[in-house]
Amino acid sequence: MRLVNQLVIVVGALMLVAGAMAGGECCEKAAATNDWCKGCKEGFYNGVSMSSAKLHKTLAGDPVSTNMKCEGCKAASANDGWCKDCGTGYANKRHYASWVGYRLALGKHTAAKEIKCDACKKASADHGWCDACKAGMVGCERYTDKAQYEAAVAARPVLVAAAKEKCEGCAVAMVTNGKCEACKVSYKDGKKSGS
């Protein structure tokens, strides 16, 4: 009997999650691993969905190159750091050209079902710091370092804005402090900047 009750709860929770995702199980899987769903042509990063493959690829980073030339990058790749000279970061043995992708990669990827604490579970819908656990959630990433947490909190609205942006060049520029060549607009920290 108890097992049946638990089953009902699990199925109910799964249905809730499926309802929130556009494409169902395939996208659910992609969202759990920050992947691109080929079938639905929809990408996920930190629980945010996007239809631009280029934006998704920029956020998700690439495997770290084995022959780095830059000393700053060599040092950064050894300790999940950021190379100021190149404007790129390193985390989880991946290389990020996007400051947004980097900051949201520094946490510990934590699936909703792994979160035991209710306050933390609630925070993972967007973000929040839990004093009881001495940890913060930003989407599905868990941080125990407050500075890293706050940097991720600042990055998440830029991720959300870029995912909604109609112009692909602008979306990528937003998350990389770059320039959209089509619109001739530059971005700094997610906002349009001077030139």
Close Cβ partners of 81 (under 8 Å, ≥ 6 residues apart): 75, 89, 90
Which of 170, 168, 141 shows the shortest CA–CA distance to 47? 141
Total site size for Zn ion, rule CB under 5 A: 24
Closest separation in Å from C-beta 13 to Zn ion: 19
Please give the distance of CA 5 from its chain centroid, rounded to a whole number.
34
Q: Which stretch binds Zn ion (CB under 5 A): 8-16, 26-34, 98-106, 187-195?
A: 26-34
Q: Is 138 in the site for Zn ion (CB under 5 A)?
A: no
Find the DSSP H helices in 21-167.
Answer: 25-32, 53-60, 71-78, 99-103, 118-123, 146-164
Per-residue mark of binding to Zn ion, 62-91 (x: CB under 5 A): --------x-xx---------x-xx-----
Per-residue mark of binding to Zn ion, 89-118 (x: CB under 5 A): ----------------------------x-
Closest separation in Å from C-beta 127 to Zn ion: 13
The pair of structure tokens assigned to 89 is 């970061």
Question: Using CB atoms, what's the residue nearest to Zn ion?
Answer: 23
Q: Which residue has the tokens 């973000």?
A: 127
Beta bridge partners of 192: 187
Give the torsion through C-alpha atoms of 8, 14, 20, 22, to 10 deg.
-130
Among 94, 167, 179, 186, binds Zn ion (CB under 5 A): 167
Q: Is 158 in the site for Zn ion (CB under 5 A)?
A: no
- Give the residues lining the site for Zn ion (CB under 5 A): 23, 26-27, 37, 39-40, 70, 72-73, 83, 85-86, 117, 119-120, 130, 132-133, 167, 169-170, 180, 182-183
